[in-house]
Structure 1
């Protein structure tokens, strides 16, 4: 199955270059997590009702901004390493500001498309499933899965251009859509595999006490795996569908 080939190729891309993956993403990712943890309880002050609201809002905004910049930085650096063999010899990869900015703009456009499609699908699927199965936990999970898979498939088709943006190529959103034309079923299968594996990765966290050291460590490790494999899937899609590389 081609979808499975794409997925396993992306996983090998990360763990076959594990040391490089850590050098490119490790420090940035850890700083992201430290900021999130440090600002998680910001603004808590007994007897003050205004300060917690302002503090929490500021902390959430700053953490979100740090996460966004860090994620884009990692993605662009990883695409360039895999596709152009751009070396990485320090703990912090080069910051390609212009390419990161262009990557963000394209990602934002794709995100808006995903939000519109996701809302429409969730409304339709939710109405059908909940009317048939009632408001149960299973029905809710089924709605999420049935909505997530097609939305993720659409996102992957458009996002196939993003690694090219990281390389400085002039590509439009429709370039990714056209390049993956005819492989819609493969994209759906890939989305289902990713959604299922994400669910599996989340299961260990259910057995751990929320907020505990083991829980935080597991979140960091599993989160890193999801980020790197997700970025690698886009790299694989670009390499295969746009650069016409074989899946080996």
Structure 2
């Protein structure tokens, strides 16, 4: 089953390279936590307490923008480094991944294109679906669920442009669709497997909370990190298999 092979390959990618994953993601993540904490502290300290009530929106907007920029930069830095490690065997040196400014900006550019394409499709489709739901909730449900999965699968097919940008081999939307032709069934199974894994890990954390709250927090954090890395590895796997023709057996 192609979907299972893709899913298993993405998991194996993490398991086999967990040391490299730690070298790529650990230090930038810790830097992000420290920088974000300092930023919030400075924001709170820079605004007099008397003015906080009068300007809560300004402080909130500035804090959000600062958090967004720092998080986006650190996250993309790590993701690009991971794609390049897997696809180009670019080994991390020490505990800091290589910083490829041009590839990071290219990655942001492709994210913007994907977001814009999704916006142009989702907004009008959502408006039509809303009208259908108002006329007939049952019909809206019957149309909405398949439409949701169709849009999700289409997005996954297009998402191979992201690892392509990271390794410096740009792929257009049309090339992405052409490369992932006949992948619908495999991608759907992979999505269901990923959803099942998330449900399983969240249920395990919730069950462990009844026994030990601290252990539940640790498990929840660990599984969140693993699932996040798995999502990135799935993108890498899709690009490697469908675009570059690499084996997943």
TM-score range, shorter chain: 0.7 to 0.9
The alignment covers a number of residue pairs equal to 239
Instruction: Tell whether the 8 Å contact from 1:152 to 1:191 is kept in structure 2 after alignment.
Output: no
Please give the per-residue CA displacement for 1:181-208, whole angstroms capped at 9, x wherever unaligned: 1222222332333334334444456676
Q: Which has the higher helix share?
A: 2
- Tell whether the 8 Å contact from 1:161 to 1:171 is kept in structure 2 after alignment: yes
TM-score between both structures, scaled by the size of structure 2: 0.79
CA deviation digits over 1:16-53, x for unaligned, max 9?
21111011011222333445566668649477323432
Dislocated runs of 4+, deviation >6 Å: 212-216
Higher RCO by CA contacts (8 Å cutoff, separation 6 or greater): 2
Distance 1:121-1:16 versus aligned 2 partners, 3 A rule: farther
Aligned-partner SS, 1:224? helix
The aligned residue for residue 117 of structure 2 is 113
Q: Which has the larger radius of gyration?
A: 2
TM-score by length of 1: 0.80
Alignment of 1:70 with 2:74, yes or no, is: yes
Partner Cα separation in structure 1 for residue 219 and residue 39 of structure 2: 19
**Within 2, Cα distance between the matches of 1:133 and 1:36?**
46
Deviation at 1:218? 5.2
> Are the structure 2 counterparts of residues 148 and 24 from structure 1 closer, same or farther at C-alpha, using a change threshold of 3 Å?
farther
Q: Do 1:39 and 1:60's aligned partners in 2 also have CA atoms closer than 8 Å? A: no
- The answer to whether the 8 A contact 1:40-1:56 is kept is no
Q: Contact 1:32/1:66 (CA < 8 Å) preserved in 2?
A: yes
Partners of 2:13 and 2:233 within 8 A in 1: yes
Distance in 2, matches of 1:82 and 1:239, equals: 9
Deviations 1:206-231 (A, max 9, x none): 6769xx97676556433322321111
Contact 1:149 1:191 in 2 (8 A): no
Gaps spanning 5+ residues in structure 2: where?
Answer: none
What stretches of structure 1 of length at least 5 have no aligned partner? none
| Equivalent in the alignment of 2:230 | 229
